[in-house]
Structures are given as C-alpha cells and as structure tokens.
C-alpha cells in the first residue's frame, strides 16, 4: 500500500537546480535507502519530504492526499547532525520533544519511557546527554524522531559518523524499527544500505536514476559476473575468453578470472564448450554475487 508519492519534485536556488523532476513512491512497511554521491541532492530531498523546505515545483502526496499544513505530524525526522541540549538528561529531552509535538506532559513522559526502552537507553535515562557516546546520542535522536508515533521515519546519514560499535547499535535499532514502521534513510555507506534496506533509491545529479529491490536492480542492469579458475594457466586464456560472444568483459584477480556476461545460460554453454575444446582443467565455476557497490557504480556511470 502506497504511503507517500513524490511527483516531479524540483528545488532551485536562484538558477541552480539541486533537485530536478524527482518522482518516486514509498510503500507502507518498507525500509528504503536513499543513495547518491556527495552533492547529489539527498539531504535536500529528505528536507522537502520532512516539510522543512518547500519544493520549487512538484507535489508530495501522503496517504493519497496532498500534504496539508500539519503534515509533519505524520513524519519523524533525524538530521545528519542532530543538536541536543547537553545539560538535559535523555528522558528530559524526550519529554521536552514530546511536548513540542503537542503531547501532554503525562503522554510525553509515558512515550519517553517506552522509547528509552526501545532504543536501549533506559539505564542511562537520568544521565546528562553530555555524557552520552556518539551511538547513544544517535539512538536518542531516533527516539526523538519517534516521539509522536509518525507513519514515516526519515533519517539523514544515521550511522555514517559513528565508530563501529555505535554504527552497529544504530543498524540493529533500524532493523527492529523496520518491522513496524516505514523508514527512508540516506547513506553513503553502501554496506549499511545492503544490510538493512528492502529497497534502494539511487540519486545522481539531482535525478532518480534507479529504484527497486536488489533483485530488481540486478534485473535492470542485466549483467551477471562469473568467477573461473584453472589448475594450470593455459596460454592466452584471457584473450581467448574475451573472444567468446556472450562475454563482454574479462578481469583478472589473482588466480581467478571474473567474466561479465548478459545471458547466464548462453554464457555457461559457450564457456564450457571452449573449456572442453581447449582441454583446460577448470577448477572453479561460480556465479558471483552482485554487490550494491557494483550496481551503484554502474548506474552512476551511465
């Protein structure tokens, strides 16, 4: 079921278009990673969806209705560099945030306790935020984004500035949140996107260039990588492999040959015929897993 639809969003500053005709949909219960090089428009896109800046052109529809003035009640937002009142305790900050979101003081206290439990900060709820680690602050920031029970959670680079321990804590939390929430998060750490997201949104030069699951993006890119190895090294093997019709790229990595092909079945048949005819001793024939980095680099270069 569709939660949000962005239609031809454009954001201009004077004559400079940061975002140009961006359109995409977000489905209920999905975790979507927004990927793109630096300067591709990720933060601008998120800030438009969160209601902090208005698009120059285009529309945003939430639950099939154009967003009204109070649409932010449905959206929870964590900026890339959140700011806290370090003299407050974690619970005081969440209660304060809840009251800003129009919760009563009793509702804010109850919700703060629930969220501190959720983000694993219950034991440090009375500790001043100035004493929190980076990972603890980021989890507190996510709790703040959840204080008003939003339908959509928007996180801008939630784990990129953290050490490995803090990053793991945030990723584990996101994995729990995606069970019951819709999440849109930006990141330049491709492994994070691959680990927790259900869907990928690729942004480049202010335009959406691909959207879909890993499987769908692999189908769109329509390439497969094969990994071959031989017990001995036949003469001119790399040149001979390049001559095979279904193979359009050959790359040597130590003792392995990585072959990029379009049609797996055709390539397998032609390769095995050549191996048999040349009497090569094949010791490895694997279909290599396509990584998100492979898909990202290919899409951006195109």
Fold of domain 2-211: Rossmann fold (3.40.50)
- Residue 233 class from Cβ within 10 Å (0-12 exposed, 13-18 middle, 19+ buried)? exposed
R_g (Cα) of the chain, nearest Å: 24
CA-based nearest residue to 227, from 261, 269, 197, 182: 261
Confidence of residue 140 (pLDDT cuts 50, 70, 90): very high
- Over residues 216-246, the pLDDT tens digits come to 776 656 677 888 888 877 667 888 888 888 8
Give the model's pLDDT for residue 67: 47
Say if 2-211 and 221-301 have the same CATH topology.
Answer: no
Q: According to CATH, what is the number of the domain 221-301?
A: 3.30.70.980
Mean pLDDT of the chain: 87
CA-based nearest residue to 43, from 84, 73, 80: 80
- Over residues 66-103, the pLDDT tens digits come to 544 566 778 999 999 999 999 999 999 999 999 999 99
Domain borders along the chain are 2-211, 221-301
Give the model's pLDDT for residue 63: 73
Pair of tokens at residue 245: 């019709």
**Global pTM value:** 0.77
pLDDT at 185 over 90: yes
Are 234 and 255 in contact by the 8 Å Cβ rule? The answer is no
- Over residues 43-68, the pLDDT tens digits come to 999 999 998 999 999 988 887 555 44
């Amino acid at each position: 079921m569709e939660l949000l639809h962005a239609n031809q969003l454009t954001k201009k500053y004077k004559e400079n278009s940061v975002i140009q005709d961006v359109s995409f949909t977000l489905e209920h219960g999905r975790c979507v990673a927004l990927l793109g090089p630096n300067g591709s428009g990720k933060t601008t896109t998120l800030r438009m969806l969160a209601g902090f800046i208005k698009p120059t052109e285009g529309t945003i529809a939430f639950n099939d209705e154009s967003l009204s003035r109070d649409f932010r009640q449905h959206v929870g937002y964590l900026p890339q560099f959140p700011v806290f009142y370090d003299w407050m305790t974690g619970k005081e900050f969440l209660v304060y945030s809840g009251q800003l979101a129009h919760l009563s003081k009793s509702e804010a206290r109850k919700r703060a306790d629930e969220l501190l439990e959720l983000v694993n900060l219950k034991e440090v709820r009375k500790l001043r935020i100035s004493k929190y680690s980076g990972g603890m602050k980021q989890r507190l920031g996510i709790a703040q984004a959840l204080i008003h029970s939003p339908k959509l959670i928007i996180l801008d680079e939630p784990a990129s500035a953290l050490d490995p321990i803090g990053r793991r804590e945030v990723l584990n939390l996101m994995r729990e949140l995606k069970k019951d929430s819709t999440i849109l998060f930006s990141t330049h750490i491709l492994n994070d996107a691959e680990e927790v997201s259900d869907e990928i949104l690729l942004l480049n030069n202010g335009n959406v260039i691909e959207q879909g699951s890993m499987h769908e993006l692999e189908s769109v890119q329509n390439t497969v990588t094969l990994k071959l190895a031989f017990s001995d090294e036949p003469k001119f093997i790399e040149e001979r492999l390049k001559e095979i019709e279904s193979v359009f790229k050959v790359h040597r990595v130590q003792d392995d040959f990585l072959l990029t092909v379009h049609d797996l079945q055709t390539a397998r048949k032609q390769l095995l015929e050549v191996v048999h005819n040349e009497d090569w001793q094949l010791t490895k024939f694997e279909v290599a897993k396509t990584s998100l980095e492979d898909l990202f680099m290919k899409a951006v270069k195109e």
